[in-house]
Amino acid sequence: MTLTLLYVIYLIAITAEAMSGAIMGMRRGMDLFGISLLGTVTALGGGTARDVLLGHYPVGWIAHPEYLSFTIGAAIVTAFIARQMHHLRKLFLIVDGLGLVAFTVIGCDVAMGMEAHPSIVVLAGVITGIFGGLLRDILCNEVPMVLRRELYATVALFTGVLYVSLLWLGIDIQIASLAALVSGFLLRMLAIRFGWRLPQYDSENIRGLD
Amino acid sequence: MTLTLLYVIYLIAITAEAMSGAIMGMRRGMDLFGISLLGTVTALGGGTARDVLLGHYPVGWIAHPEYLSFTIGAAIVTAFIARQMHHLRKLFLIVDGLGLVAFTVIGCDVAMGMEAHPSIVVLAGVITGIFGGLLRDILCNEVPMVLRRELYATVALFTGVLYVSLLWLGIDIQIASLAALVSGFLLRMLAIRFGWRLPQYDSENIRGLD
Amino acid sequence: MTLTLLYVIYLIAITAEAMSGAIMGMRRGMDLFGISLLGTVTALGGGTARDVLLGHYPVGWIAHPEYLSFTIGAAIVTAFIARQMHHLRKLFLIVDGLGLVAFTVIGCDVAMGMEAHPSIVVLAGVITGIFGGLLRDILCNEVPMVLRRELYATVALFTGVLYVSLLWLGIDIQIASLAALVSGFLLRMLAIRFGWRLPQYDSENIRGLD
């Protein structure tokens, strides 16, 4: 049951991520092809980075090309309705938060299936959760937001650590993944609501080493 | 016969792409090493990205290290004749167009050899065609031109779809690849001549979702 | 004996590289998570790029998750002592130089273990030596310094060529690796001391091809 739920959340999430990527591409003056590619990279880049780093072939969207119709379709729809989409901003943040925790749990599952070390399992979850946004920002010539912003990457880390810990304690995998999804999602919503963030650094006072 | 023709076009194309990468590196104040690396990434980055994503090992230039002598040689020659090279601009655009369609057809062939889904075959062709330029622009700290410019990525997509469709219709592979090469190349030349491009977006009017 | 020495140098070097990455992240306003990730990418990105390109799985830090405690630990420590670290600038340059040549020799060894062509062995060494810094600069939205600065990449190339040549001449691997380490390190120190660099190009006078 949880697997089906995860899968549905996953499809909704890649659609939402593709839309966020497409909007960012439109704001950089990209054409329809660029928007589709940027949307796809945003949605599927995390899972792709995880699979390439783990040597887990075939990569997700090569085994399931139907994912590409979701992301490309979402990007093209976005090109037509983008002017209206800021009305959906709150809905988007909710779906994006759901996607973040779903990506993380799915990433942990892939690494566990390869019998990786627990720390690698958590990291595979985090990479799945955040690398899509990271690649999107690199393509848009930005210092990646996930490295700077409120508890985004930290939510992925929290979700992964909680999930792996619950499994290690012998909790049933369905309950563990549900608990991780719900807790991670709540943390993300609270972080947005109250503007929580990790400490950042006063860059003026720090001299480089080169 | 077509295979040999493809191979010759490929060698000419990686030479030309390496030169374009080297020139861009020189304009960013890179040294001789940086120019060689940027030229090589521009020329071989598309095939490398395709091979890594498909899990198609060994990667092209590792199986054929002689490709590296072409790209590094081309970059070093460029360092000495760059001031004269803008006279070759038209020739370069023609060779670049040939390379784009040759890379695409070669990329499709690799994915077909792995019995990938037709949509993945097309995408492998597109990735082979455009990722070299995309990686070059990332290394030069630019929003990639292939995501913004006139029908560049679209030509790769057109070439790949035409090639896969002709094969699906049962056309002989030599005829199919020649037809895709010629049609894709003509489309690219027409796009340059008449400044065709996909619709871009008025970035001022679009609000982000974050 | 050399192997143990190489291993100790490697651990010291990834710690130093992680610190350099962390400092650069702090100067870009990253949070603690971003600093840890940037430090880790700087330290382990070269070996990761090499392993993915060679298809050499599992990737280093997946086989040895303990490397991650070094890089993440170093990044977190850096976050607390960064204001004092410029006093360590000279020590850092020495450790960074040691790391560069150690990464290169280790990278050559990995490719030789896969029976790669000698030019690929050298290139695997160079990639291991420089790609961490290159990825760090891409994440920080800079044109990579290793493509522009004094003999950094060139030291990796020199070290790799010397190492492979000595082995080809039949020299014992322990002596060959020690000779390559020492010579490469001296070249780097001399390059820093006297500001040696490869010729760069007067970017104003060069017109692009697009």
Is residue B206 one of the residues assigned to a domain? no
- Which pLDDT score, from 0 to 100, does residue C207 have? 63
Percent of chain B as helix, strand, coil, to the nearest 5: 80, 0, 20
Contact B53 A62 (CB under 8 A): yes
Query: Mean pLDDT across the stretch A6-29?
Result: 89
- Residue B147 Cα, gap to closest chain C Cα (Å): 15
- Residue B152: which pLDDT band, with cuts at 50, 70 and 90? confident
Q: In this complex, which of B29, B57, B58 lies closest to C203 when CB atoms are compared?
A: B29
What burial letters (b/e) apply to C148-170, b meaning 16+ CB within 10 Å? bbbbbbbbbbbbbbbbbebbeee
Q: Which DSSP category does B124 fall into? A: H
Query: Mean pLDDT across the stretch B62-73?
Result: 95
Query: Mean pLDDT across the stretch A112-117?
Result: 95
Please provide the average confidence, as pLDDT, over all residues in chain A.
Answer: 89
Digit-coded pLDDT (tens) for A104-114 = 999 999 999 99
Segment among A155-169, B85-99, C9-23 with least mean pLDDT: B85-99
Task: List CB contacts (< 8 A) between A68 and chain B.
Answer: 119, 123
Is residue C204 one of the residues assigned to a domain? no
Cβ-proximal residues to C47 (8 Å cutoff; 6+ apart), any chain: C59, C60, C61, C103, C106, C107, C110, C128, C132
**B168 burial via Cβ count (<10 Å: 0-12, 13-18, 19+):** exposed
The tokens describing B91, both together, are: 């020739």
Query: Mean pLDDT across the stretch B97-123?
Result: 94
Residue C210 has pLDDT above 70, yes or no: no
The owner of tokens 């109250």 is A194
- Which pLDDT score, from 0 to 100, does residue A74 have? 95
- Residue B45: which pLDDT band, with cuts at 50, 70 and 90? very high
What burial letters (b/e) apply to B119-144, b meaning 16+ CB within 10 Å? bbbbbbbbbbbbbbbbbbbbbbeebb
Task: List CB contacts (< 8 A) between C30 and chain A.
Answer: 143, 147-148, 200-201
Top-confidence residue, C36 or A202: C36
d(C-alpha A70, C-alpha A48), whole Å: 16
Residue A98 has pLDDT above 70, yes or no: yes
**Cα angle at B111 between B107 and B115, to 5 degrees?**
160
Is residue C186 one of the residues assigned to a domain? yes
B49-53: Cβ within 8 A, 24+ apart: B49/B127, B49/B128, B49/B131, B49/B135, B50/B107, B50/B110, B50/B111, B50/B124, B50/B127, B50/B128, B50/B131, B51/B110, B52/A52, B52/C52, B52/C53, B53/A48, B53/A52, B53/A59, B53/A62, B53/B124, B53/B127
Digit-coded pLDDT (tens) for A131-165 = 998 999 999 988 888 887 667 889 999 999 999 99
Provide the domain limits for residue C12. Answer: 2-196
- Which pLDDT score, from 0 to 100, does residue C194 have? 87
d(C-alpha A40, C-alpha B6), whole Å: 30
Digit-coded pLDDT (tens) for C127-185 = 999 999 899 999 998 888 888 766 788 999 999 999 999 999 999 999 999 999 999 99
Query: Mean pLDDT across the stretch C28-46?
Result: 92
Contact B120 A62 (CB under 8 A): yes
Cβ-proximal residues to B77 (8 Å cutoff; 6+ apart), any chain: B19
Digit-coded pLDDT (tens) for B16-42 = 899 989 988 888 888 888 899 999 999
Q: In this complex, which of B29, B62, B96 lies closest to C201 when CB atoms are compared?
A: B29
Contact A145 B206 (CB under 8 A): no
- Which pLDDT score, from 0 to 100, does residue A139 have? 92
Q: Is C200 helix (H, G, I), strand (E, B) or coil?
A: strand
**B73 burial via Cβ count (<10 Å: 0-12, 13-18, 19+):** middle
Is residue B210 one of the residues assigned to a domain? no
What is the share, in percent, of chain B residues with pLDDT greater than 90? 60
- Residue A165 Cα, gap to closest chain B Cα (Å): 31
The tokens describing A152, both together, are: 């985004």
Residue B2 has pLDDT above 70, yes or no: no
Digit-coded pLDDT (tens) for B158-197 = 999 999 999 999 999 999 999 999 999 999 999 988 888 7
Contact B181, B163 (CB under 8 A): no
Contact A153 C33 (CB under 8 A): yes
Residue B137 has pLDDT above 80, yes or no: yes
- Which pLDDT score, from 0 to 100, does residue C129 have? 94
How many A/C residue pairs have CB atoms within 8 Å?
A: 99
Residue C200 has pLDDT above 80, yes or no: no
Contact B130, B149 (CB under 8 A): no
Is residue B204 one of the residues assigned to a domain? no
Task: List CB contacts (< 8 A) between C145 and chain A.
Answer: 210
Is residue C24 one of the residues assigned to a domain? yes
Is residue C210 one of the residues assigned to a domain? no
- Residue A189: which pLDDT band, with cuts at 50, 70 and 90? very high
Is residue B84 one of the residues assigned to a domain? yes
Digit-coded pLDDT (tens) for C6-18 = 888 899 989 989 9
- Which pLDDT score, from 0 to 100, does residue C118 have? 96
Cβ-proximal residues to B157 (8 Å cutoff; 6+ apart), any chain: A33, B122, B126
Q: Which DSSP category does B67 fall into? A: H
- Which pLDDT score, from 0 to 100, does residue A2 have? 63
How many domains does chain A fold into? 1
- Which pLDDT score, from 0 to 100, does residue B176 have? 95
Best of B33, B52, B57 to substitute, by most chain C Cβ atoms within 10 angstroms, is B33
- Which pLDDT score, from 0 to 100, does residue A1 have? 53
